[in-house]
A and B are shown apart, each in its own frame.
Chain A
Amino acid sequence: GQNIDQPTEMTATEGAIVQINCTYQTSGFNGLFWYQQHAGEAPTFLSYNVLDGLEEKGRFSSFLSRSKGYSYLLLKELQMKDSASYLCAVRDGDYKLSFGAGTTVTVRA
């Protein structure tokens, strides 16, 4: 399997910015994904990076550095509904996804 590390928990205030880091080691690389998962629900797709650099989608941005085995998800203008678990996933050379354990983000008023 792959080795994917991300922080367990993060807390931030409504309106603030939070950055969730993810480091990985993989045999072959075919993209890095971020998913959002609210408690008791299924994961939903947020972003996909396969080349180095920043991908921006509204309030969410994702960055990738393949040489460093590093990615981050940036959540801007935090809202209460952003309280969720954020999953980093890496697709390996066989096109299979491996997930990190997830980062639980709590947004406080």
Chain B
Amino acid sequence: IAGITQAPTSQILAAGRRMTLRCTQDMRHNAMYWYRQDLGLGLRLIHYSNTAGTTGKGEVPDGYSVSRANTDDFPLTLASAVPSQTSVYFCASTPSVESDEQFFGPGTRLTVL
């Protein structure tokens, strides 16, 4: 089934641990995004990639890193998790940065204790 997938669905993590959230799309979209969603704050952009091989910082990039080695995959890494990174993380993709619609993955619920 074409679309965008994320793994894991949910995770409980001890503070200080390293964690990688996975995002894969099979729609051959050039642009991909990572957002976090917190109650009362809405979706906030963490990092983005306009095309394979390039990445950029969004509104809240501190404590996160990304890579875009190919078109399909856009992993998000927390090098040393902290409780304030407890959130729901959504990956999204779009054919190009000028496209009308962003397609969202199902999300990863992360709890850092």
| A residues apposed to B, CB below 8 Å | 1, 4, 30-31, 33, 41-45, 48, 87, 89, 95-102
Q: Once bound together, how far apart are the Cα atoms of A41 and B58, in whole Å?
A: 23
Interface size on B, residues (CB 8 A): 23
For residue B37, give the distance in angstroms from its CB to the closest CB of chain A. Answer: 9
Stretch at the interface among B15-23, B42-50, B64-72, B77-85: B42-50
- List which B23-39 residues lie within 8 A (CB) of chain A: 33, 35
Extra A-B contacts (16), CB below 8 Å, given A98-B59, A99-B44:
A1-B59, A33-B101, A42-B104, A43-B104, A44-B104, A45-B100, A45-B101, A45-B102, A48-B101, A87-B43, A89-B43, A96-B58, A97-B45, A98-B45, A101-B40, A102-B42
Q: Is the CB of B98 within 8 A of A95?
A: yes
For residue B27, give the distance in angstroms from its CB to the closest CB of chain A. Answer: 14
Q: Which of A44, A45, A96, A100 contacts B42 (CB 8 A)?
A: A100
| B residues apposed to A, CB below 8 Å | 33, 35, 40-45, 48, 50, 58-59, 90, 97-98, 100-107
For residue A34, give the distance in angstroms from its CB to the closest CB of chain B. Answer: 11
- If A42-B90, A43-B90, A95-B97 touch, whether A101 touches B42 (CB-CB below 8 Å) is yes
Q: Once bound together, how far apart are the Cα atoms of A98 and B60, in whole Å?
A: 12
